[in-house]
Structure 1
Amino acid sequence: MIEEVAPEYRAVQRRLARGWNTWDTRSLLSQVRLPDAVLVSLGLKEYYRGTTLRHVQLGRREEDAETVTLGPHAVDGSYTELTVEWRGVTLRVRSAHAGDDLVLLVEPLTNQPKSACLTVAVAYAWNAPGAVRREGDSVVAESAAGATPVFATAPSVTDPYTDVDTPHLVLELTGPVGISTGRRRPMAEIESIIVGQLTRLERATSADVHRAIIRDAIAWNTIYEPAGARVVTTVSRLWNVGKRGGFALFCWDAFFGALLAGTVSADLAYANAMEMLAEATPEGFVPNVAQGTGRKTFDGSQPPVGALACWELYRAHGDAWFLRAAFPRLLAWNRWWWRVRRSGELLALGSTSFVPDVPSPQDVPRIHQHFGATCESGCDDHPVFADVPFDAASSLLRAHDIGLNSEYILDCELLAKMAAELGAEPERRELEDRRAAVTTAVRDRLWDDGDRIFRSHFSDTGRPTAYLSPMSFYPMLAGIAGPDQIRALMAHLRDPEEFGGQWAVPVTPRNDGRDVQGYWAGRVWPPVNLLVYLGLLRSGRTEDRQWLAERSAALVVREWELHRHVHENYSAVTGNGCDFPDSEPFYSWGALLSLIPLIEDGRVPYFADWR
């Protein structure tokens, strides 16, 4: 949790870290009660091969991995639903709150000839203090907070080979099975509680598909991070485990996650922003990533969108303490860009040399290298950087980046507004002066009059770089493009041979001419769509922004209706997300494609002053 914590923020985390929820990132079938960390974890034992599925994740790609379909998930955990298919067994699992208790309903939809069994393990998560014992057909967890018995509607059978190490129940799945904490409940009561909580949730959001997409993308990826004693939304549960050691917080992802969370929970939005700011380095910048192994990217940052998220959250929810708490760290980050990534009167992307205290294979190709510098754009190894060399002496790419400088101008503008709100007059003047200097330099040096587009230019020769991306539209987001320039930009954006077409906006133009393959080639990325849309909104391009809002909505709803996926990125050719191994199927920022139509229709209180 962030140091020097405002008392209001301590209260935020206390409110969030309560009750039963899918807090444990290791398995979608685990429910943990906070603050005492009682854990009820479901598993599956099948008898064709005699193996046990202990932890369930969405998106595993190894042979024989489970297939998961995520259903509705209330942010407070009061209702969850998912379907798991594994080795011929399919389960529908629903959970609901019954006051302070938890109920679960597990329904077998398909089964093996010899019925699979459900394992119900009880423990204290994360080595929290407490004792667990088996008592007949129940399991009891007990700590200083009291005793929590766990019951089932079916008798527990004997199977000593379930691979479960803690006290647990083994329940034959010959029919539906109910589980309850606190007291024994009959199946009819459990079913009634489940239906009641689902009805309540559907009344709140499910009639609006875009609100449901945002809710579920945020709720399923929100975890409790025990090392930092904090509730936070991550990008993907699967990304937290394995090579990242339990959690991973990515810079601009987290701030977009805060914006998304702000539509369903102000507390969770504040937590996402504050916890990312808490990861700032001693030099003052917010790192590209901080993760559970202890790794932190001390070589570089990611796009400065923190002020954008924090300012809109403040305007939407009005909590002055949040502005006071966030501003100093946002200001330090802004100053770091100017101090460390400045090249003349403009900024360049970079990767600073350092020796990691926690070595990681992920750092081998990036520290003080071209790839690492491209990661600072948020668009790792984007083809737009192919002709831009890395200068080891300065630790910078040898180009003034149009995306970064536009984002930085906006960052200065919004921080100046925060400073004014907080009565910090010297800081306001400092930020206004810096914004003016970078604005002048972008207008003078980064407009390509031949191709009638903003683009990056080499910092040594002043010539334009060879390739384009949607970052060329970001000067509209910064509010610095003139009317004639905006009209010229629209010709590029709406051209189906460049950035237009049915599935927009591709992050490389369709007529690029290169056979480029890679993570950021030929795909539609939700954060890019959002930033381009906001530029259109700010520039008063009503028809163009409606065009992009409609395409963004169609893209996210298509995969949602097919698979209930919210992808990390999508094909700009087919609109598919599942066609590409480097597109995580349930990634928080995929829901930005749903935020766009909500902003467009005025259904969320964001960016009202740009209308």
Structure 2
Amino acid sequence: MTSYEDAQRRLARGWNTWDTHSLLTQVLLPDGLAVSLGLKEYYRGNVLNRVQIGRREQDAEEVTLGPHAIDGSYTSVTVRWRGVEVLVESAHDGPDLVLLATPLANQVQPATLTVAVGLLWGRPGAVRRSGDGVTAELPGRAVTVSATAPGHHDPYVDLTGPYLAVRLDGPVGVSTGAPRDLATVQRIVAGARLARPEDADGEHRELIRDAIAWNTVYEPAGERVVTTVSRLWNVGKRGGYALFCWDNYFNALLAGLFSADLAYANAVEMTRALTPAGFVPNVEQGTGRRTYDGSQPPVGSLAALELYKRFGDRWFLEEVFPGLLSWNRWWWNTRRDGELLCLGSTAFEPEWPSPQDIPRINQHFGATCESGCDDHPIFADIPYDPTVGLLMAHDVSLNSEYAMDCAALADIAAVLGRDAERDELRGRGTAVAEAMERLLWSDETGSYRSRRTDTGDFTADISPMSFYPLLAGIGAGGRDRRMVERYLRDERYFGGRWSVPSTPRTDAESASRSYYWHGRVWPPMNFLVYIGLRRAGLTEERSWLAERSAELAMKEWSEARHVHENYSANTGEGCDKANSEPFHSWGALLSLIPLIESGSVEYFREVNA
């Protein structure tokens, strides 16, 4: 029998892009030895020592992320900055790291490539210059870093600690261990280089692999490997890392295509972030902040059950079940108003209020963030009651996800022989589903909708969240098919080439206001709608959505190798909007959909398989 600690030990070893601060830093675990490449331009002496994708400052570097093996055995990244363009590839040669920097464009005078060597996170050892290289004295051994080109003395590279500096007037190799010549470095890298896929399934797998691999980092405070939503989001105001609730459970499913250990890490670490009140927070981050006021959609049990079906490790269910059960009970005890749940934000007095918490604690915005859809305009007209900390509506998305969570967690309890909890969960899930059929179905509009608790009125607008009841098997008497046939593919609502938009295409009123979640295609929405269609047996509709999702995923991937946080529902572009991160892990959900549909990934295989 293995354990989670064994999984983390297997993950946290070897050379990889473990450091979130720069895409050009390779770190050896568990030692913490870092080899970080940088650039210095000739004319003004500007330096680039940390490289990220998605920076929007003036003169920021432009980055194209190439293939990245999950274990770091090959990586490729192209950086363009101030007229300099360089392709950096990495490979493993046994225990050694090999780097190849190939200039593709230069200023009239070539840039300088810097190679900084140091120890991260307070790990023991010492680093010193030694002849033409830099040597790190690690516990029990020494590692030397050398370059294939002769170094030159440049005291103005803005680095602390030992480094190498070489003219980038041609390809330069860098390696650890015994020195290697350029031809040897090129041969090793060529042998490790990942071939491009030749079929559609391969392209989608490549997108998912790279979205996960580039966003997987080592989080030193917790001594853990975990996949984050975006490396750029980890730094700055979030203090080094950020784990977002439903994002990381989605990351677990995505990572499961390549590594059971990494899939488990994402699910376990998010579940271990449980607050003292017993729920998984919206976010946990390196500043010490957790959202003690609220959570995010309960998709953890769904992910955990699918990972168990894929890999069959009972210990994993035993690890996550207590936290998932606590979370499920918290929703029922804290967010219930009558027979159903409302989104909320629980009042508390933070020891040191974060600027991010100020607009949300026990406020309307905090409650809407609990939906995972932040400021979605469908919540705009629903009042917030601060005396109970709830939005005044039985939310169709939350109740659907909660009923789904009850069912999945009951199945996990059954596997573990927890019969009392199984019965508790099945009873609660059934009660929620029955109440939704009675209270959240609008026969007039032919759809499931949120319903105000103060007036009894249904929300005036519809969104893709109205399809979420299908996740829990809700849709009695053909209601599911009636709703889907009326709204899903109608181009006045959610149809069209680039689907599904987060608001109806005819919703001009909210389009005139600045909503982060208005009118874009958001990958988790597509994913949950697809899984619901699968469960409902709506084969034609799910195939339609899989085709739309596949085309959308490939559009910017083929053009720029981008995996966006969200996409335009009009053009399919992601770069058209500044606040759509260009390499966001959950964008890969769009590629997971067609892989499930084709049968090449056996998630949700028991449903109409």
Of 410, 418, 433 in structure 2, the residue corresponding to residue 424 of structure 1 is 418
**Residue in 1 aligned with 2:481?**
487
Query: 2: CA distance between counterparts of 1:489 and 1:517?
Result: 29
Query: 2: CA distance between counterparts of 1:124 and 1:206?
Result: 42
Query: 1: CA distance between counterparts of 2:376 and 2:331?
Result: 21
Residues 500-515 of structure 1 aligned to structure 2 (within 5 Å): 500-514=495-509, 515=512
Query: 1: CA distance between counterparts of 2:155 and 2:515?
Result: 47
Shift of 1:513: 3.5
Paired residue secondary structure (2:296): coil
- 2:193 matched to 1:187? no
- 2:292 matched to 1:292? no
Query: 1: CA distance between counterparts of 2:58 and 2:374?
Result: 28
Shift of 1:7: 5.8
Paired residue secondary structure (1:568): coil
**Residue in 2 aligned with 1:561?**
558
Of 460, 466, 475 in structure 2, the residue corresponding to residue 472 of structure 1 is 466
Contact 1:251 1:289 in 2 (8 A): yes
Residues 49-448 of structure 1 aligned to structure 2 (within 5 Å): 49-199=44-194, 208-448=202-442
Shift of 1:10: 0.5
Contact 2:201 2:595 in 1 (8 A): no
For 1:118-165, what per-residue CA distance to the aligned partner results, in whole angstroms no more than 9, with x for missing partners? 000000012211100001210001121410000100111011000011
Query: 2: CA distance between counterparts of 1:121 and 1:94?
Result: 17
In the alignment, residue 347 of structure 1 is paired with which amino acid? L
Of 525, 528, 537 in structure 2, the residue corresponding to residue 528 of structure 1 is 525
Paired residue secondary structure (1:361): coil
**Residue in 2 aligned with 1:3?**
none
Query: 2: CA distance between counterparts of 1:205 and 1:100?
Result: 33
Shift of 1:189: 1.2
Shift of 1:207: 7.4
For 1:346-365, what per-residue CA distance to the aligned partner results, in whole angstroms no more than 9, with x for missing partners? 00000011122342111111
In the alignment, residue 530 of structure 1 is paired with which amino acid? F
In the alignment, residue 519 of structure 1 is paired with which amino acid? Y
Change (3 A) 1:215 1:205: farther
Change (3 A) 1:203 1:183: farther
**Residue in 1 aligned with 2:573?**
576
Query: 2: CA distance between counterparts of 1:197 and 1:403?
Result: 45
In the alignment, residue 396 of structure 2 is paired with which amino acid? I
Of 9, 13, 17 in structure 2, the residue corresponding to residue 18 of structure 1 is 13
- 2:546 matched to 1:549? yes
In the alignment, residue 463 of structure 1 is paired with which amino acid? D
Paired residue secondary structure (2:116): strand
Change (3 A) 1:568 1:203: closer
In the alignment, residue 235 of structure 1 is paired with which amino acid? V
In the alignment, residue 218 of structure 1 is paired with which amino acid? I
**Residue in 2 aligned with 1:519?**
516
Query: 2: CA distance between counterparts of 1:233 and 1:175?
Result: 35
In the alignment, residue 325 of structure 2 is paired with which amino acid? L
For 1:511-558, what per-residue CA distance to the aligned partner results, in whole angstroms no more than 9, with x for missing partners? 223123321001000000000000111111111001000000000100
Contact 2:437 2:476 in 1 (8 A): no
For 1:53-84, what per-residue CA distance to the aligned partner results, in whole angstroms no more than 9, with x for missing partners? 01000000000000000000000000000000
Contact 1:446 1:457 in 2 (8 A): yes
Paired residue secondary structure (1:175): coil
Contact 1:387 1:466 in 2 (8 A): no
In the alignment, residue 47 of structure 2 is paired with which amino acid? T
Contact 2:385 2:392 in 1 (8 A): yes
Query: 2: CA distance between counterparts of 1:344 and 1:462?
Result: 13
121-130 or 58-67: bigger deviation: 121-130
Q: TM-score, normalised by structure 2?
A: 0.98
In the alignment, residue 161 of structure 2 is paired with which amino acid? T
**Residue in 2 aligned with 1:606?**
603
Segments of 4+ moved more than 3 angstroms: 201-207
Query: 2: CA distance between counterparts of 1:284 and 1:364?
Result: 22
In the alignment, residue 102 of structure 1 is paired with which amino acid? L
Query: 2: CA distance between counterparts of 1:438 and 1:388?
Result: 21
**Residue in 2 aligned with 1:586?**
583
RMSD: 1.3
In the alignment, residue 326 of structure 1 is paired with which amino acid? V
Shift of 1:336: 0.1
Query: 2: CA distance between counterparts of 1:223 and 1:240?
Result: 10
Contact 2:152 2:165 in 1 (8 A): yes
Query: 2: CA distance between counterparts of 1:389 and 1:335?
Result: 25
**Residue in 1 aligned with 2:534?**
537
Contact 1:295 1:359 in 2 (8 A): no
Contact 1:559 1:566 in 2 (8 A): yes
Shift of 1:483: 4.4
Query: 2: CA distance between counterparts of 1:206 and 1:152?
Result: 39
In the alignment, residue 555 of structure 1 is paired with which amino acid? L
Change (3 A) 1:495 1:22: same
For 1:95-138, what per-residue CA distance to the aligned partner results, in whole angstroms no more than 9, with x for missing partners? 00001000000011111112110000000012211100001210
- The unaligned stretches of length 5 or more in structure 2 are none
Query: 1: CA distance between counterparts of 2:42 and 2:402?
Result: 58
Query: 2: CA distance between counterparts of 1:44 and 1:444?
Result: 64
Shift of 1:202: 5.2
**Residue in 2 aligned with 1:596?**
593
Query: 2: CA distance between counterparts of 1:204 and 1:293?
Result: 43
Query: 2: CA distance between counterparts of 1:91 and 1:489?
Result: 52
Query: 2: CA distance between counterparts of 1:511 and 1:445?
Result: 27
In the alignment, residue 45 of structure 2 is paired with which amino acid? G
Contact 1:295 1:358 in 2 (8 A): no
Query: 2: CA distance between counterparts of 1:577 and 1:175?
Result: 35
Identical-residue share of aligned pairs (%) = 63
Query: 1: CA distance between counterparts of 2:525 and 2:410?
Result: 24
Change (3 A) 1:203 1:446: closer
Query: 2: CA distance between counterparts of 1:483 and 1:86?
Result: 60
**Residue in 1 aligned with 2:454?**
460
Query: 2: CA distance between counterparts of 1:294 and 1:358?
Result: 10
In the alignment, residue 113 of structure 2 is paired with which amino acid? L
Contact 1:36 1:145 in 2 (8 A): no
Query: 2: CA distance between counterparts of 1:14 and 1:418?
Result: 26
239-248 or 143-152: bigger deviation: 143-152
Query: 1: CA distance between counterparts of 2:442 and 2:200?
Result: 46
Shift of 1:583: 0.4
Paired residue secondary structure (1:609): coil
Contact 1:153 1:187 in 2 (8 A): yes
69-78 or 415-424: bigger deviation: 415-424
